[in-house]
Amino acid sequence: MIEVLIQRTLPAVGGSSTPQFDDVRTARDWLKLLPMINVPIAHAEISQALSELNQSDLAALESLKIVEQFRESVHVLQDATLSKLIGKALPLSDEEEKIWQSIANLWRLLETAYARAWHAACKNQLGIAEFLPLLAERTLYYANKNLQHLAHIYRKPGDKEWRQLFAYYELAKTQHIEKLKARDSLIPISGTSTPESIFLHALLFNMANPAQYSFKQQAWLNNRLEILATRTSLQAQAPTLPQRAPLCIDLATPAPATRRPHPRAQDSELEIDTLALAQVISKRIKLLKLGEMPEKIGLGNELGPQAAEEILRDLYRLWCDHPMERTLVRRSSEQYLEAGVGLNNLHLWLARHQFAPPPQNEHQISSTELMQIRMFGQTRARQVIAPAAPETQQWQIVNETAQGMCLNSSTALAQRLQLHQLILLADGKAQFLGQIRWLSQCAAHWEIGIELLPGIPEAACIRAQDAARFGQGDFTQVLMLGAMPALKSPATLLLPPGWFRQGRLLDYWDGKQMNRIRLVSLLGRGADYERVHFVASGGL
């Protein structure tokens, strides 16, 4: 039975290629000459070296020593390469996709290297069998890295990734090493981990809905899970908060963890101890409310106290205190609607056929004309350009609530998307604004979660009255959301990022008349907009 599991789970041992080095000493000398300052070259060379090592017949113990020697340098190169993708809108460009694939390939090479050594240890090859817990921990560690890397560009793990992760854990459990500690210098604070902790890390990270978090927040969560995952365990019957269903998995059916309201039915089913997680998380939430700094209570210094507390509250709800019934009921739908993104694009959409452009003052010149005067000594004749059609795409409504909706599309995206981006939706009867709360890609399908913003959207134009801009006639295209007294929501402007300054005076054109307004407060900020409360400031 265990032999079949080993053969099915782990890659074959041995190979025919000759690696660039035949022992750890020559590998160390080679690593010293690797041009780490030239990240693309160093990344390609270490990937090639590991690929050759994985196809060689080098002794498993020597191969393990070499991979351990390379490990820290690989992480440095991976982080430097990944920095080129942070904050990029989706889908990735061809060049960005190549970078992402090169990172994924290197994580897979490390996973394969440790899995091959694990296979050799199962066969009791000389000197390697004593490292079984370490090999299981490392193999699961890099299988988990691959799942995290998918989350960076909001792709859901497929069945293949879940089957492989579960197979690794099942093998470790069959060998009774899932709870044995292994030293790991890349795990902060404790410096140790177990195969089960890494497996729980992957399950809890996915259950945290990483599709709603930015790269920085995902990195923070992964760093915290390296500790939080050691505070819980997998059991046949695990404790939970009162009146809460357990979070469970079925080893016979590899898939993300789910909530099961019914009693345990199969021997292959295991539950996560969410009570222990609830105690750890609630303690830190209380300390943050009392003014404790995050780094003092093991939460790092990447996020401020308020941001860390918000994520912890979300994790507490998702992992430990999630009710079986939703407060806001989701209504299924098969309706289609049009959607578009981009502040200027949305202004163009709302302004079509019903918005007169702001009047041009002959005594004021645009910034373009000012530049022409500086460069050529005169302005060129103005060209009348017909407005372009707005860019939109059809999406299907999967489900919706009073405050948001989930949309699905099986076609290529017409415009690139990112978290907290402004989006305009139209169903043929009405138009409404929202922001992208989460997004994910599975195969050729895209899903986005929309958080609706209160108010009816309208096109508008503004012009700053700052001294630095005095005498210029440029208007900036923006959007306005009308007041909704029932929701205690005032009229707000949606401005480009960086425009808000308390008390700033603006000329405001609503398509019919010009008014003077004053910016009062910043109500929200997204990837491509600022939502600002404003009031009238007298006539012009």
pLDDT in tens, 115-157: 999 999 999 888 899 999 999 999 999 999 999 999 999 999 9
Q: Is the pLDDT of residue 372 over 70?
A: no
Question: In the structure, what pLDDT confidence band is assigned to residue 540 with cuts at 50, 70 and 90?
Answer: low
pLDDT surpasses 70 at 380: no
Q: Does residue 412 surpass a pLDDT of 70?
A: yes
Residue 429 is predicted with a pLDDT of 85
DSSP label at residue 149: H
Please report, rounded to a whole number, the percentage of residues in the chain having pLDDT higher than 70. 91
Residue pair 278/312 in contact (Cβ under 8 Å)? The answer is no
For the stretch 450-463, pLDDT in tens is 999 999 999 999 99
pLDDT reported for residue 376: 61
Residue 455's CB: how many other CB atoms inside 10 A? 21
pLDDT of residue 383: 47
Q: Which residues contact 334 (CB under 8 A, 6 or more apart)?
A: 396, 397
Q: Report whether pLDDT(360) > 80.
A: no
Q: What is the pLDDT of residue 384?
A: 42
Closest by CA position to 312, among listed 221, 249, 446:
221
Residue type at 224 in one-letter notation: R
Name which of 15-19, 39-43, 174-178, 408-412 the model is least confident about: 15-19
Q: What are the CA-CA distances from residue 60 to residues 113, 152, 405 (Å)? A: 9, 33, 52
Buried b (16+ CB within 10 A) or exposed e, 466-485: eeeeeebbbbbbbbbbeeee
Q: pLDDT at residue 472 above 70?
A: no
DSSP per residue over 206-235, as a string?
Answer: HHT-GGGS-HHHHHHHHHHHHHHGGG--EE
Contacts of 232 (CB under 8 A, 6+ apart): 200, 204, 272, 273, 274, 276, 277
Burial of 297-328, coded b for 16+ CB within 10 Å and e otherwise, reads eebeeebeeeebbebbeebbeebbbbeeeeee
The token duo for 263 is 């009693």
How high is the pLDDT of residue 490? Answer: 92
Confidence of residue 385 (pLDDT cuts 50, 70, 90): very low
pLDDT digits (tens, 9 = 90+) for 33-72: 999 999 999 999 999 999 999 999 999 999 999 999 999 9
Q: Would the pLDDT of 467 be above 70?
A: no
- The answer on pLDDT for 353 being more than 90 is no
In whole angstroms, give the CA distance from residue 466 to residue 237: 66
pLDDT higher than 80, residue 500: yes
Gap between the Cα atoms of 151 and 210, Å rounded? 6
pLDDT digits (tens, 9 = 90+) for 232-264: 999 999 999 998 988 999 999 999 999 887 777
Average confidence score pLDDT of the chain? 90
- 407 pLDDT higher than 50: yes
Residues in the chain: 540
Query: Distance from first CA to last CA of the chain, Å, rounded?
Result: 85
The pLDDT, as a whole number, for residue 503 is 92
pLDDT over 90, % of the chain: 74
Non-local CB neighbours of 322 within 8 Å, separated by 6+ positions: 244, 259
Please give the model's pTM, rounded to 2 decimal places: 0.89
- Residue labelled with tokens 């060049």: 95
Q: Which pLDDT does position 469 carry in this prediction? A: 53
How do residues 60-104 score in pLDDT, each as one tens digit? 999 999 999 999 999 999 999 999 999 899 999 999 999 999 999
Residues 6+ away with beta carbon under 8 Å from 470: none
Count of CB atoms situated within 10 Å of the CB of 157: 19
The region of weakest confidence among 207-211, 378-382, 410-414 is: 378-382
115-147 in b/e burial notation, b at 16+ Cβ within 10 A?
Answer: bbbbbbbbeeeeebeebbbbbbbbbbbbbbbbb
Task: Give the per-residue pLDDT at 401.
Answer: 86
Burial class (CB in 10 A: 0-12, 13-18, 19+), 73: middle
Tokens representing 477?
Answer: 């295209």
Task: Decide: helix, strand or coil at residue 278.
Answer: helix
Predicted confidence band of residue 190 (pLDDT cuts 50, 70, 90): confident
Predicted local confidence at residue 74, as pLDDT:
97
Better pLDDT: 374 or 428: 428
pLDDT at 494: 97
What is the separation of C-alpha 349 from the centre of its chain, rounded to a whole number of angstroms?
29
Contact status, residue 226 vs residue 194, Cβ threshold 8 Å: no
For 385-435, the DSSP string reads -PPPPPP-EEEEEEEE-SSEEEEEE-S--SS-B-TT-EEEEE-SS-EEEEE
